[in-house]
Amino acid sequence: MKYFVPLLSAPFLVCLLLIVPQAARANVIEPHPTLPPTTGGYVLPTICIAPPHTAGICIEDLTLSDFRVKSNVFTANQNVDAASLLTGEFFQDIAGRPGLFEGLLRVIVDVGFEYFDRTGPDEVGTFNAEITELSFSGAFNGHSFQVQLAGTPSTGVTTITPVRPDGPFEVSSFFDVFAELSIDKGPFMPGPERVAVLAAVPEPSPVLLLLTGVAGVALASRLRRGTRDK
């Protein structure tokens, strides 16, 4: 799967999925009882990765969303194969905190889900679930890398609750994710368990809000100086 990511080294991009702390659970509102959810994403909090993996960089608003279903099969369980968009915003690491904005992450990811005992597209309730596929690969700065699921199952729970009998529907979901990585076709290295939590996709971008705020402060400062000079 090919994609474009500016300002990133291969080791950092691969490690970002493996060094993510737990986030708080949240719900989203869907017009239909669709899984995976169409209006939300699986969100992870800010992480900072220090050398030797990178020169020191932080990522905010890491979100797996915009699921594009390629196949959706209902038997005893629901099995979904989809493409998804992994996005985030990168900053310099200043003593473990985000500093200067450096670029955007935008990666197309192959992802699969199995929702156990969900036998139809309109069925609501609580379903045990598993991520059956999570993979992407590429090459940057002379290094190749690959990310895939580890041997430990990445399981979770998804609940669909009707707000009214005919909708909309409230959806909550989380997964305990186990992933592993390979750099330059070397052996796969497992990462620790991390929690991916469904939430409303954040908008507008905090970076844009930050830049707008900085510009406003600068403009106000210039106006005050101009007034004093008259």
How far is the C-alpha of 17 from the C-alpha of 64, rounded, in Å? 11
The predicted pLDDT at position 215 comes to 37
> How far, rounded to the nearest angstrom, does the alpha carbon of residue 155 sit from its chain's CA centroid?
16
How far is the C-alpha of 30 from the C-alpha of 145, rounded, in Å? 35
Each residue's pLDDT tens digit, 164-180: 989 999 999 999 988 88
Residues of the chain with pLDDT under 70: 1-26, 45, 47-57, 138-145, 183, 191-192, 202-230
| Residue 143: HSE in the Cβ half-sphere, 13 Å Cα cutoff | 15
For the entire predicted model, the pTM comes to: 0.70
The predicted pLDDT at position 73 comes to 97
How far is the C-alpha of 46 from the C-alpha of 21, rounded, in Å? 8
Q: List 84's β-bridge partners, or say none.
A: 109
The predicted pLDDT at position 226 comes to 47
Q: List 56's β-bridge partners, or say none.
A: none
How far is the C-alpha of 36 from the C-alpha of 47, rounded, in Å? 25
How far is the C-alpha of 119 from the C-alpha of 79, rounded, in Å? 10
Residue 141 per-residue DSSP state: T
Domain map of the chain by residue range? 10-205
